[in-house]
Structure 1
């Protein structure tokens, strides 16, 4: 835009290097953008997708001050033990192992100070970045993407809300095989401190390296962990980041983080299922109606054809009733080619404003798909999907969702 040559490959690598050592929301924003197709050029996506939420932890003097500000000056008496060194450190806070007076193992997630100001500052910078991007490429309007990212990031700062989300997930996944949600310890939690039971587990890729025969079982557990809440309650976990779950010895999944949760209108969930049916039966009218439910307004015939290119890529694994590896149609190279084709077509038809609802639904689908790619799992995705949606009914979902949200004092979907 300024007439200055920019070597995207080198600049993107330097950007990842700079962001990789940061704490704060900017690293999380980078992770989000790297999984939203066409939000950034592919050179940046390739580099930013390598960011991991594994920043250096803050020291013990800092931890003591922060814990005192959350639980009071006598906070150490509330624990039998509290490890001085963080077990994990991420973009917004760090986790310490602890032990309750009764001997229960605990995980205490402590937020870094002044994160609210940091979030707002980074969102202002992101708005500027998006404005520059749109001046150079009008295929995608980013205003709803920015609004949605801002809303979810602000929610992630509220650990009391995350505690409600964790309890919601314990309810939604109660009785679902292969998935565990740790219990919240309410009297040791505040708006900036979240204490939960400690659950033992290994990183999924480390587990698979030692147990390659577990690939398919782990993939099915992950599928249920993400999509049982969505199709039965209209709730999606918007962050399938590898650090947000671990694998237990029995191959079940521990869900560990509940900051990035999105609740959808039941009508939107119906639109997701209707779009699947439209693609399967080549029903253009049903596709148009589905896109309206997704928030795409009144799409033209040309725009529907472009959107269907991406939809066929995302839905491909569940369109055939057979066991299959997900990379048959959802491999990295094919996904990049599809995204580039969609981007070019969007420019041709005049661009599009991505609806808010699309952002984290698509991110969850693409992020989870990348996990399945890494697992190299071969599963009948069609059967898993139909097992969840076979008895779908909007009124039933609405009643179930309303009761579950009310039980946790959570607001209805936006």
Structure 2
């Protein structure tokens, strides 16, 4: 039996091997953390690299989970988060016999007759699927994203390992309680398995960003898309990381950063929609220096009340209005926040919102110390421990993750913009009820399931 024949089957032994590898990784962290609790010194950096190497060979959600949790502050010790942030899949893409059978299961026995050309080799491999380049009979080039087999079962198994790891860590550290974070990750990962949902998200973003000339959204090919196959127009361009590594002038960097800001926050402040995965691999830069968005699996919908809370907190930070800040945290879903806890959260908010409150052109991190964010996070973490900890609401997870992820990209781009004016332009006509109405209309047009109804 060929290798890819084996991969296409959900074998008992294959599942056991995966469980052993992921359990070994999780168990290793747990043992070391427990040892540290009783005074046994460990080399976290070395162990974190070992963990990355173990998980990096596992296709599927464990890699996706690792990338997600690496951007959520204090869900794991810093050493582990740093290593997991660099995690990439080193497992090879599935072979042609797998692809052929997979395409047949999605489009029928005559699936090849629907394409003029279809590449046997994957153009890209990711955590939940791989992409093939193809040519339609009308001359249009397309990207076919094909999901790996048995991802639903794999997601379930890997999430159980993550739950165990989080529970073990937070017996030792109660600063940020992650119960709601875990629930949010479960829902978002399960949604990412449904390519019909992602297709709807793609339609939604095409609608929300239709007038933004600096942003390119792939065109969905509806008749060649299913729950496990997503077919879109092929977009030619350089990966964002490659573009940065090869060198960008200041005008190019600022243009890309402005497009990034617009692509993320126009949907949020105008429609209550956030894209939760600002991963470097999700962007291309084309020959016109336009920003091309590639992945629409991790999307969350918010009520206007939550979005207004984000705006209110920014204003509270700018005007030192504690009453408004408290109201904003309540709008987000934080419960029973003491004055001491709120003061600590405000210190973090002042750091994150600083670019939006200063009416001047500046870098996203206007400080010569590259570790200032890390130092402040450690200070906040210690303060929250002393006040009994805090439970972030589920609604907060992707917004916080997006802010941190985008901040990192703006830093890598070395962009210098007046972030305050970009923000004020977005929110100048904000109206909570109008957002709710526009959101409902856009979601209906895009045929996106509305979780708020």
For residue 211 of structure 1, report the CA deviation from its aligned partner. 3.2
CA gap 1:225/1:330 in 2 versus in 1, 3 angstroms: farther
1:104 matched to 2:140? The reply is yes
Name the CA distance, whole Å, in 1 between partners of 2:423 and 2:296. Answer: 23
Indicate whether 1:310 and 2:348 are aligned.
yes
- Backbone CA RMSD of aligned residues: 1.4
Q: Distance in 2 between matches of 1:198 and 1:345?
A: 49
Tell me, yes or no, if structure 1 residue 133 matches structure 2 residue 169.
yes
Gaps of 5+ in 2: 1-33
What's the secondary structure of 1:327's corresponding residue? coil
> Given the alignment of the two structures, is residue 263 of structure 1 paired with residue 301 of structure 2, yes or no?
yes
1:201 corresponds to: 237
The aligned counterpart of 2:372 is 334
Question: SS of the residue aligned with 2:334?
Answer: coil
1:69 correspondence with 2:105: yes
1:253 aligns with 2:283: no
Could you report, residue by residue, the CA deviation over 1:104-123 in whole angstroms, capped at 9, with x for unpaired residues?
10000000000000000011
**Superimposed CA distance per residue, residues 177-205 of structure 1 (whole angstroms, 9 cap, x where no aligned partner):** 31011111011000000000101111123
- Unaligned 5+ runs, structure 1: none
SS of residue in 2 equivalent to 1:97: strand
Q: Does 1:175 align with 2:205?
A: no
Counterparts of 1:14-413 in structure 2 under 5 Å? 14-52=50-88, 55-208=91-244, 209-213=246-250, 214-329=252-367, 332-413=370-451
Cα pair distance change 1:227/1:330, threshold 3 Å:
farther
CA contact under 8 A between 1:313 and 1:330: conserved in structure 2?
no
Contact 2:58 2:89 in 1 (8 A): no
1:334 CA drift (Å)? 1.0
**Alpha-carbon shift at residue 327 of structure 1 (Å):** 2.3
8 A contact 2:183–2:394 mirrored in 1 = yes
Mapped contact 2:71–2:405 kept (Cα < 8 A): yes
- Give the Cα–Cα distance (whole angstroms) in 2 for the partners of residues 118 and 330 of structure 1: 44
Please state whether the residue corresponding to 2:429 is helix, strand or coil: coil
CA distance in 2 between counterparts of 1:230 and 1:332 reads 29
Tell me if structure 1 keeps the 8 A contact 2:284–2:292. Answer: yes
State the SS of the aligned residue for 1:285.
Answer: helix
Q: Is the 8 A contact 1:238 1:364 kept in 2?
A: yes
Aligned residues: 414
1:386 Cα offset (Å): 0.5
Q: Contact 2:274–2:299 at 8 Å: present in 1 too?
A: yes
Give 1:251 shift: 1.1
The 2-side partners of 1:411 and 1:286 are apart by 33
How far residue 23 of structure 1 moved from its aligned partner, in angstroms, is 0.8
Q: TM-score, normalised by structure 1?
A: 0.97
Tell me the distance in 1 between the aligned counterparts of 2:363 and 2:129.
36
Q: Alpha-carbon deviation of 1:212? A: 2.3
Q: Matches of 1:117 and 1:58 in 2, distance apart?
A: 18
Q: Distance in 1 between matches of 2:369 and 2:84?
A: 18
Shift of 1:40: 1.0
Instruction: Provide, for residues 326-361 of structure 1, a one-character-per-residue CA deviation record: whole Å limited to 9, x for no partner.
Output: 121597511111111111011000011111011110
Q: Secondary structure at the match of 1:56?
A: coil
Distance in 2 between the 1:402 and 1:332 partners? 42
Query: How far is the alpha carbon of 1:22 from its aligned partner?
Result: 2.1
Deviations 1:301-332 (A, max 9, x none): 11110111111111111110010011215975
SS in 1 for 2:130: strand
Give the match for residue 5 of structure 2: none
Cα offset for 1:382?
A: 0.6
Structure 1 Cα separation of the partners of residues 451 and 303 of structure 2: 6
